[in-house]
A and B are shown apart, each in its own frame.
Chain A
Amino acid sequence: MKEIYLPIKAEVVEVLDMTPDTKLFKVKPERPVHYQPGQFFMLSLWGKGEVPISITSACGFHEYVELCIRRVGYITSAIHEVKPPCDIGLRGPFGNTFLAENAKNKDIIFVAGGLGIAPLRPLITRVMNEKKRSRRIALLYGSRNPGEILFKDDIEAWQEKGLQLFLGVRKGLQFILSAGKKDNCLLSGSGPAAESSRIPKISFKNAYAFVCGPPVMISPTMITLSTMGMDENNIYTSLEAHMKCGVGKCGHCYVDGVHLCTDGPIFSYAEIRKRRLQIV
């Protein structure tokens, strides 16, 4: 029988400081793992516990896995103390994936808030590599302060390939997405001319959106995007919950009839509305 709770051994090869409280861990699992954008691993430290961590590295390259971890809790603090080389445990990958196939040859808008860029990174990389000239892709990225903008190299590389980038700092995405305030709204397009030039140049009717970030950001973003004329089925987000097993058994992530770990964590806005999923 397959051991679903037994982590495989993985070696931490490299640790990069990204911001004072965020580190990028380059991990080499015992055997290569196959994963898709949006999935997560259960990262396991023997003697501490397990946490779900989304995968940051581009899919298709399976020998190393990159995990972007912010120090917030007990286990993430413990893993920040890890000095390479060191062995940790990995289980997974678990969860469903961003359905990038449906968005083929369509305009795409990515909305990331803070660490939300991490799970979107493999998807953006894949989309940018497959990009054709006519396709328009925009990234709205908000963070608390300029120093906390992650993956600057990647963003530059994406921009060279034609990504429309909109950075919002200080108040983060509130600045970009404040649909209510007319003077500096970016998406609604009814603001002053100077501001409206900063609207992402995509056709919202047929576009796909991938939203990822802190819970406080997700719900206003999705509402704004749907009022912009996007189909609710085409707005995807990644929800988060307390998880202990990652395989739909422990019950911690069970909300409104779905296990976020096996049925999620990626949901479309239509599904969230239908099931009345709570975005914390």
Chain B
Amino acid sequence: MKKNLIMDKNYLSYWLRQIRKTMSLIAPMRLKNADIVFKQVDNIHEIELDCPASLPSPKEFLLPQKEYMFRFSKNSVDVLKDCTKRLIFGVRSCDISAIDLMDRFFGEKFVDEYYMSRRENTVFISIVCNNPDPTCFCIGLGTGPFLKSNFDIQLTDLGDRYLVETGSKQGADLIRGYSHLFSRPKKSDYDDQYEVILSSQSKFEKRISLENTRQKILNEKINDLFWDWIARRCFECGGCVYACPVCTCFNVVDRMEQEGDGYRFRIWDACMFKGFTRMAGNVWPAEKKGSRIKQRYFHKLLYYPDHFGRFGCVGCGRCTITCPGHVDMATIAHRIDVGDRRRR
């Protein structure tokens, strides 16, 4: 299954153009206002690869912000399921790790068929980060800048050529039939790969150890006052949750279109929102902002490792960019780990 190949950079657009004939191609593109987003590619030359990470994570293709589940009328209910074949190109390693975590979450116990039908029809081509952003800290979590497993296809930029690694059957299917584009890697290619990875690893500005943070929390070094202090800087905008590639909470809403006709859909929800846990009769478990923030970080730092053996954070740094109050994962983990635990 695992296979390494070399492809000349000039062949990339041809290869993508050929693949696009069978499935929808999605890649990072620059919008007019200079934001980078994943969207459907019309012109392959517009794909941006030397750019900061896209702000919306590619999770929206697996768990869309608004996903129609059922269309109901008076007598019938239709299950609406998305089975579009997609190739998502240019994803970063951290996002692939996050998707692996989502696969395990949605695939355990009760299998979420909406997620799974999208997931089974989606292939990812990830790219090793040669230039990590200043906000990235995946290196401390083992989710980047490159992956050792769990990818479909991973490309490493070696200057004038790509090292193409296939890690799954779906990935191998993309390469089959295009053997004229690929050649066998030489020893010098592996040397270049090693150098690229080393130089990338040295470029990380943030060195954050979530394991230390976890230990500090487990040893009860952090009390509720800390979370209340963090809460004073939180705007409850939910930006960190929406931008997070690991967060999966959703709300289910019914909308009527006409008499008896309508849709049931699910939309992203955020545990930072005040009404997230409110029940009928005004029973309200997490009314305080501090307890909601504590719940979110405990989920990512304590409960995810307990359940999945991995942190519920992949170090993509999106919350650092999004948070208007500068109380993101990197800041909080750093505060807990290194100190500066001012209480008021």
Which residues from chain A sit less than 8 Å from chain B, CB to CB? 1-6, 46-51, 72-76, 214-215, 240-242, 244-245, 247-252, 254-257, 262, 278, 280
Contacts and interface: CB of A to CB of B under 8 A. Distances in A.
Contact of A241 (B252, B256, B277, B306): B277
Nearest to A216: B283
Given A49-B252, A250-B252, A251-B269, A1 B113 contact: yes
B279 A76 contact: no
Given A247-B110, A250-B251, A280-B285, A242 B278 contact: yes
Contacts of A51: 280
Given A2-B111, A215-B283, A257 B252 contact: no
Given A247-B109, A249-B248, A257-B302, A240 B279 contact: yes
B98 to A, nearest CB: 16
24 contacts: A1-B111, A1-B113, A3-B79, A4-B112, A5-B114, A46-B77, A51-B280, A75-B280, A214-B283, A244-B251, A244-B269, A247-B110, A249-B105, A249-B110, A249-B248, A249-B250, A250-B252, A250-B266, A250-B269, A251-B269, A251-B271, A257-B303, A257-B307, A278-B285
A251 B280 contact: no
B252 A245 contact: yes
Interface in B10-67: none
Contacts of B285: 241, 255, 278, 280
Interface residues of B, number: 46
A6 B70 contact: yes
A4 B113 contact: yes
A46 B283 contact: no
B51 to A, nearest CB: 31
A242 B109 contact: no
Contact of B295 (A50, A240, A255): A255
B226 interface: no
Given A46-B262, A244-B251, 15 more contacts: A1-B111, A1-B117, A4-B111, A74-B280, A76-B280, A240-B283, A241-B277, A248-B109, A249-B110, A250-B269, A252-B276, A256-B303, A257-B306, A257-B307, A262-B109
A280 B284 contact: yes
Interface in B66-87: 69-70, 72, 77, 79
B262 A73 contact: no
Given A47-B260, A47-B262, A241-B277, A3 B113 contact: yes
Contacts of B105: 249
| Most B C-beta atoms less than 10 A away, residue of A5, A72, A245, A254 | A5
A143 to B, nearest CB: 16
Nearest to B304: A257
Interface string B268-295: 0101000011111101111000000001
Closest 3 pairs (CB-CB, A-B): A73-B280, A251-B249, A247-B110
Interface string B81-113: 000000000000000000000000110011111
B75 to A, nearest CB: 9
Contacts of A214: 283
A164 B206 CA distance: 66
Contact of B248 (A46, A48, A74, A251): A251
